[in-house]
Amino acid sequence: VIKCKAAVAWEAGKPLSIEEVEVAPPKAHEVRIKIFATAVCHTDAYTLSGADPEGCFPVILGHEGAGIVESVGEGVTKVKPGDTVIPLYIPQCGECKFCKNPKTNLCQKIRITQGKGLMPDGTSRFSCKGKQIYHFMGTSTFSEYTVVADISVAKIDAAAPLDKVCLLGCGISTGYGAAVNTAKVEPGSTCAVFGLGGVGLAVIMGCKIAGASRIIGIDLNKDKYAKAKEFGATECISPEDFKKPIQEALVEMTDGGVDYSFECIGNVGVMRAALEACHKGWGVSVIVGVAAAGQEISTRPFQLVTGRTWKGTAFGGWKSVDSVPKLVTDYMSKKIKVDEFVTHTLPFNKINEAFELMHKGK
């Protein structure tokens, strides 16, 4: 058993607490990882807020991390101690019907136990002050050591800087993949990206790499426009600057609507606007943002009858074990940006400050 520091969420709505936790050794088909860097994501904040129906407490959150394998359980063949890895919240077992189908990346092998905050055998590897602590998204990267299933880990280039590539564990991969895998943005197309946080910037990067000629960034926070343009946005607008709904403004600006739109916020009203901003006959709108539990989307069916397509994406459609190492390689060869997404680097004990910065849009 390893004793180390972790940021424990004891209950919903309260700040994280840095505690000494015990991390049990990995069982069969499990991997224990020393985490060197983790990022914070709105999904962590969503669960911490208490709005997540799958949220269980006390829990160690975090799902964008990178580290080194410390030890492996029986039967683990894909990684060994000393390997550099990224934990994966969407695993890839290679055996379930989802993994065997090229149309999806949603491996279901450990979905039920992962959703309950447990390892595949139905137990936890974390304890603190004599209490069991739950896992989160199968990763729990807000701990100096974590244990994950062996199908939930990608071995990456040992030369990669861990404080940067940890972001490929969720946000950057999700947005970039939404553009290149899910929407399949084409050269010369017009795109609209709603929400210019990390995921939205990654979508813009993907649209630009795919050859889009016009990329319109949309956000209420104008402080985000300069960064969006660095990533490839050709213009940025705020819904507050128009007297009409934003979808109508976009349809006018683009001679009938955009070819591709992306919702990167998790707001069902914006999801509708993103669909309705699409061009009749061929426009595709991709939902990337995660809405709160129980919310529903709506539009007039005629929007779809007249040729628009509504899609969604999880982790950008990447088959995780196969794709994350390639994304790291693409970053190392400067094909995709990662460093530019990092705004602040804080010591682990200031993790609550990181959440505050995120909530302020900084």
pLDDT at 292 (0 to 100): 86
pLDDT digits (tens, 9 = 90+) for 153-180: 999 999 999 999 999 999 999 999 999 9
Bridge partners of residue 53, in order along the sequence = none
| Angle (nearest 5°) at CA 67 between 63 and 68 | 140
223 and 164 belong to one structural domain: no
pLDDT digits (tens, 9 = 90+) for 120-158: 999 999 999 999 999 999 999 999 999 999 999 999 999
154 and 132 belong to one structural domain: yes
Bridge partners of residue 309, in order along the sequence = 284
Residue 360 in any domain: the answer is no
206 and 156 belong to one structural domain: no
Q: Percent of the chain scored above 70 by pLDDT? A: 100
Q: Is the pLDDT of residue 209 over 90?
A: yes
Instruction: Compute φ and ψ for 69, nearest 5 degrees.
Output: -65, 125
Q: What is the mean pLDDT of the chain?
A: 97
pLDDT at 170 (0 to 100): 96
pLDDT at 54 (0 to 100): 84
Q: Is the pLDDT of residue 246 over 90?
A: yes
Residue 104 in any domain: the answer is yes
92 and 78 belong to one structural domain: yes
Residue 209 in any domain: the answer is yes
Residue 307 in any domain: the answer is yes
Tell me what the mean pLDDT of segment 322-334 comes to.
98
> Residue 210 is part of which domain span?
175-314
Residue 55 in any domain: the answer is yes
247 and 210 belong to one structural domain: yes
CATH of the domain at 191: 3.40.50.720
pLDDT digits (tens, 9 = 90+) for 117-128: 999 999 999 999
> In Å, what is the CA distance from 95 to each residue of 87, 101, 173?
19, 10, 23
| pLDDT band (50, 70, 90) for residue 222 | very high
CATH of the domain at 346: 3.90.180.10
338 and 189 belong to one structural domain: no
239 and 348 belong to one structural domain: no
279 and 336 belong to one structural domain: no
User: Residue 319 and residue 87: Cα distance in Å, rounded?
Assistant: 13
Residue 11 in any domain: the answer is yes
189 and 102 belong to one structural domain: no
Cis peptide before 58 (omega within 30 of 0): yes
9 and 145 belong to one structural domain: yes
pLDDT at 270 (0 to 100): 98
pLDDT at 53 (0 to 100): 84
User: Residue 273 and residue 257: Cα distance in Å, rounded?
Assistant: 11
Question: In this structure, are residues 194 and 265 in contact, taking their beta carbons and an 8 Å threshold?
Answer: yes
User: Residue 70 and residue 92: Cα distance in Å, rounded?
Assistant: 21
297 and 346 belong to one structural domain: no
Residue 358 in any domain: the answer is no
How many domains is the chain built from?
A: 2
| pLDDT band (50, 70, 90) for residue 354 | very high
Q: Is the pLDDT of residue 361 over 90?
A: no
Q: Is the pLDDT of residue 52 over 90?
A: no
Residue 362 in any domain: the answer is no
| Angle (nearest 5°) at CA 172 between 21 and 342 | 70
pLDDT digits (tens, 9 = 90+) for 250-280: 999 999 999 999 999 999 999 999 999 999 9
pLDDT at 51 (0 to 100): 87
270 and 310 belong to one structural domain: yes
